[in-house]
Each structure stands twice: as structure tokens, then as C-alpha cells.
Structure 1
Amino acid sequence: MHLIKLNAIGSTNSYLKHLNATESIADYTAVIAENQTEGRGQMGTIWNVENSKNLTFSVFKDLSEFQFESAFYISMVAALSVYRTLDLFSIPKLNIKWPNDILSENKKICGILIENVIKQNTVNASVIGIGLNVNQNNFDNLPQASSLKLVTGKTYDLNELAITIINQLKEYFLLLSDNKLNVIKNEYESYLFRKNKPSTFKDAEGVMFSGFIKGVSETGNLQVLLEDEILKEFDMKTITLLY
């Protein structure tokens, strides 16, 4: 694997996308920043981290030879790779909060932002951005955030975590290349936060309602069993799962 280490950068995703647009880069090239000043999350949210305390990096994945209809499988692969890595490091009480946040003890420790490169109406490559809270102790005004150190009391090596995540990505993308879609989807669904538990949601108009998470569709919509026994699908823009 090719690792590019930077002291500071606006966004590792943006850096890697620009690099891919200007030159040919190797599969699984990763950009790791000690300080990311313009980190982004899902739906345009900002990801703020302390300098040198956390793992902020992006990985380039060539998908030109892959055959799959839904880009959400990339999201599932990324989430599973981080989940499996943290499980190897004995991080307790892990869950995946749809679509791809990673929780420990019901608090967010990792966010993932995937930006696909589209050519001829096909996903040609992906830039997988991962922000993992590692050795940071304070999260002012972020009561639902935590870190590996807060959860376990231990200090972790950022490079070791990054390399392990990349190796896990390679394993899960092998499953995807072998068209083991059911294996990926079933494992992803088995780790879903609040699956089969009564949960509260908020829709795009701010109206709250209750339901049970049952799984995800092939395209990544959240499948929720409502009180009237109707299974309904929601996309990221129309529903928020409340803690």
C-alpha cells in the first residue's frame, strides 16, 4: 500500500480526488493527515478533531473491474472494515449507526464519507474518507461523541490503526469482487444500531415517530417497521435516527 503522510491539509478526500484527477495512482493509496482543517461528514456536516490525536485519512479504491448495481455496497464495506478493525483491538459494544457511523457504548467514535468517481454512468473509483476519534479526551458540546481512549483508557498508534483498516478494506473488497453481496449485507445488518428495538425517528419536516429498524434495502435505504405493521423505506435525506 502507498501511504502519503501530511502535517496539515484541508480535506484528505479533496486531496486524494485532486491527485486522482491529475495522475494515475495505485489502488489503496492512502492520505493520512495529522491535522485536517476542513474535514467533512455526511450531508455537509463538519468533522472537528484535535491535531495529532485522531486518525483522519482517505483511501483510493479502483472499482473499474467491479460489477455491482448499488453503490451502497461500498458504504457497507467501509463500515465493516472499520468495525472489524475496532473489534480486533477489543473496542467494546460496537454498532454501525446507519448509514456508516461507528459507535462504541452508543457514542460515535467514527464517521465515514465516501465520494465516488463516476465515468460513463458507472462508479469507476471511490475515495473513502475515515475520521476515527482515537486519543482525544475532550469533545466540548458533542455529548454523543467519544474516542477509543475514552472507552478503554488506552493510547493507540494511529499508523497501526490505519494499516489495519486498509487491510480489512482489502478483505471486504475481495468479497465484493467475488459478488458475495449477501454475505456483506447480512453482516452489515447484524451490526446495525437499534435493530429490532423500539426507536424514535425524525422526518424531514421535524415530525417524530416510532418504529423498529429491520434492515436496509439494496440501495441503502433504511427499512423501518412502523406501528401499523407497514415496512417503509427511508433515505438519508428523509429520516434521522435519534439516540
Structure 2
Amino acid sequence: MKKFIWPIYLIFLQKVDSTNQYIKRNILKWMKNWTVIWSMHQTNGKGVGKNLWETEKEKNLTFSIFFKSITLSIDKGYVMNMIISNAIHKILFTYSKFIWIKWPNDIILMNKKIGGILIENEVINKKIHTTIIGIGLNVNQLKFNSKFRASSLKKILNKDFELDKLFYNIIYSIQKEYFLFTIHGESDIRDYYVSHLYMKDKISFFYIRKNIHCEINGFSKGIIRNITRRGNLVIEFNKNKKIFFSQKEVQLIF
């Protein structure tokens, strides 16, 4: 096992509805910083919004990390998303060069979704007081619901993965990425994240929901160029027109 930068407090559960929900139920009782809840069978995992995270027991990684007193302002909440995305990407990049971060919270391998991140913050006085980071990564599962564009490391790369080894490597990578942020700030974290964005600088097809900031709505072609200092996605449309989008305003179709 790797020697961690900060001690972790690992709680292993054979079965749970949701690792994020488990932390919420126990947050006032005994949760310490860097508490990690890892379950082999998550029965009601959550994605962003109303999405569910479908997973087969004992085949994948489903775990949550609890942070407290990280002192990020509300408008910098996306930094944690970049830290976690980068950390996972750096580990998986050792297995395949065709791994990407799909803004804002998905992990893509060979154009298939293999992982997702759900971050839930508690805000006090306009500062992020506690953060729960839920991570789901499809590892050795082979069968998926056909209506989802999901896959796994094993299905794409045709090899088995040791869940324990992958888990500890990812936790260490997250700690390392967070440590770099505390020492050097946001710049390097942002540069890595942006340079590994899925479909960056390529013509893509988007669904744009109606909003007051954009006259474009419905389906439209565009090119992902960057993210803003608030974590919004920058898409370039015709005639070099760039528009910023929050998470609920735009969906990358392909």
C-alpha cells in the first residue's frame, strides 16, 4: 500500500445504497477529514442531477471522499472537480492514451463513458465548508444497458484490473493533485484539465437549453475552446463567437 500524504480513514462496506448518502447520514457523528467510504455493491448510486450510476457488484469502484475546512469560495467550487478529474485521468492515462475528461465530470475512454464524479458541497458564509466527492469507475464489468453509452476498462482494453491496486493509486493521485493545488494554486491544475478536455478544438454537436445569455438554442455545431475562471465551458460558434455555459445549459451530444 502506498504511503499517503495525509492519513485516510477507510470504511469498507459490502453493500450500501450510496456512498455519498452514507457520509451524509453520518457526517455529524464521527466523520474526519479524508474519510473514504468504499463499497463493493452500491445499489442506488447517484450521478449529477437525477441521473443514476448503474454498477455491477464486485466489478467496479464506487467510493466517496469527505473533505472539510477546505476554504474555497463558492465561485471556486469547480477547482475540486478539476483536481479529482485530473487525478483519475493521470492514473488511467498509464493504461491508455485515449482517456479524456468530459466537462465537467465524466471520464471517457475510446469515446465511451467509463467514470463519473459527483461533488456535493456544504456552504457556510459563502465558503465551501465540507465537500463530499463521489466517484464511480467501471472497471471489470462487461454488460451494460444499451441505452447508455457506457463501457469499462476491461471491456475496452481487454484485461482484468485489480480493484484494490487501482483504488489506492487513485486515492494517492487525488492527494498528490490536491497537495499541488495547495502549494502552487490553480494554474497548473487548470492547464492540465483544459489540455485533456474531451473533444477540445474539434467540431462537435451540442444541445443548448434556452437561457437569457445566449440567443442560440436547440441543436448546434460548435467547438470547445476552454473553461472560464468560474468553471464554465467556452464554446466557439460561427464567426469566432464564443459563449460561456454553465453545467445545466449545454449538453455535448457527440
Q: TM-score range by the shorter chain?
A: over 0.9
TM-score by length of 2: 0.90
* Off by >6 Å, runs of 4+ in structure 1: none
Counterparts of 2:59 and 2:52, CA distance in 1:
17
Q: What is the identity percentage for the equivalent residue pairs of Structure 1 and Structure 2?
A: 32
Counterparts of 2:241 and 2:141, CA distance in 1:
43
Change in 2 beyond 3 A, CA 1:77/1:230: same
TM-score by length of 1: 0.94
Partner of 1:41: 47
Partner of 2:19: 12
1:60 Cα deviation from its structure 2 partner = 1.2
Question: Which runs of 5 or more structure 2 residues have no equivalent in the other structure?
Answer: 1-7, 211-216
1:18 Cα deviation from its structure 2 partner = 2.4
Partner of 2:65: 59
Counterparts of 2:178 and 2:233, CA distance in 1:
23
Counterparts of 1:46 and 1:63, CA distance in 2:
28
Identify which of 146, 165, 178 aligns with 1:173: 178
Partner of 1:196: 201
The number of residue pairs the alignment matches comes to 241
Counterpart of 1:210, as a letter, is: K
Partner of 2:130: 125
Deviations 1:57-108 (A, max 9, x none): 00112343557851000000011111111123x1340010110200010110
Partner of 1:82: 88
Preserved CA contact (<8 Å) 1:67 1:177: no
Change in 2 beyond 3 A, CA 1:189/1:64: closer
Partner of 1:110: 115
Counterpart of 1:146, as a letter, is: S
Is the counterpart of residue 50 in structure 1 residue 61 in structure 2? no
Q: Counterpart of 2:11 in 1: which secondary structure?
A: strand
The two structures, once aligned, show a CA RMSD in angstroms of 1.7
Q: Counterpart of 1:169 in 2: which secondary structure?
A: helix
